[in-house]
Amino acid sequence: MNNVLNTNPNTLYGMVNESILIKAKKIRLLVCDVDGVFSDGRIYLGNDGEELKAFHTKDGFGIKALGSSGVAVAIITGRRSAIVAKRMTDLNIEHIIQGQEDKLPALLSLAKELTINIDEIAYIGDDMPDMSCIIRVGLGIAVQDAHPMVLAKADYTTFTRGGFGAVREVCDLIMQCQNSLEDAKGASI
C-alpha cells in the first residue's frame, strides 16, 4: 500500500491514500522502535565503553504534542540502554519496554494492559524485528530508509528518514487526522 498517491487530501508531508487517513484517525496508542526510528540507527562507542546516540528535537516535540492530545506513546526496543531510558523518560513516555527481541508479545501485552484494540495502535519500525508488529496493528509504519521487506509490509512509509524527524511526521499525521494538530502543545527537547 505504502503512501499510494492519489487525489486525496494532502498531509503536511505529502499526498497519501485516504485509507491511511482513516486508520490514523482511530489511533489511541503509538508504539515506536528506537534504533533506526528515533535515531538514525548508528551507535557510537567510546574508548571507555560509553555508548552515544543522537535524537532529534523534532521527534521530541512531536511525542510531547501527541501525548498532550490524548494519544498514548510507548517504545518497544530490542536493546537495553540507559540512554534510551533517559530520553524516553524525558519525553514523558510511560511505557518503555527494552530488551525485547520478539516484540509482538510485548505489544499484545501492552494493548491488553491499556485496554486498547489492536486496530487503534500505530507501530513505527525500520527492520525485520518490527515486521510482526507492523503487520498486526491498525496502522503499520516504516521509516523511509527501512529494510525493503519492512517497506513492502507497511501501510505507510514516512517521507522522512529515521532519526531525522520520522517520529514527528507520524505524530503530526495522527494529530492532523484527529483534528488536534493546531492545538499541539509540547517542547522541542
Does any domain span residue 8? no
**3 pLDDT higher than 80:** no
Domain count, the chain: 1
pLDDT range class, residue 1, cuts 50, 70, 90? very low
The pLDDT, as a whole number, for residue 4 is 44
**Domain residue limits at 84:** 18-183
Does any domain span residue 28? yes
Does any domain span residue 13? no
Write the pLDDT tens digit of every residue in 129-164.
999 999 999 999 999 999 999 999 999 999 999 999
Q: In sequence order, what are the residues at sequence separation of 6 or more whose Cβ sits closer than 8 angstroms to the Cβ of residue 166? A: 37, 59, 124, 143, 144, 158, 160
Q: Count the neighbouring beta carbons within 10 Å of the beta carbon of residue 4.
A: 14
**5 pLDDT higher than 50:** no
Does any domain span residue 166? yes
Q: Say if residues 85 and 98 touch (Cβ distance below 8 Å).
A: yes
pLDDT range class, residue 26, cuts 50, 70, 90? very high
The pLDDT, as a whole number, for residue 139 is 98
d(CA 134, CA 67): 21
Does any domain span residue 10? no
The pLDDT, as a whole number, for residue 10 is 79
Does any domain span residue 11? no
Does any domain span residue 9? no
Does any domain span residue 189? no
Q: What is the CA radius of gyration of the chain?
A: 15
Question: Which residues is 96 bridged to in the sheet?
Answer: 75
Of 114 and 5, more confident: 114
Looking at every residue in the chain, the average pLDDT score rounds to 92
**CATH code at 165?**
3.40.50.1000
pTM over 0.85: yes
| Joined grid coordinates for residue 33 | 522502535
d(CA 85, CA 68): 20
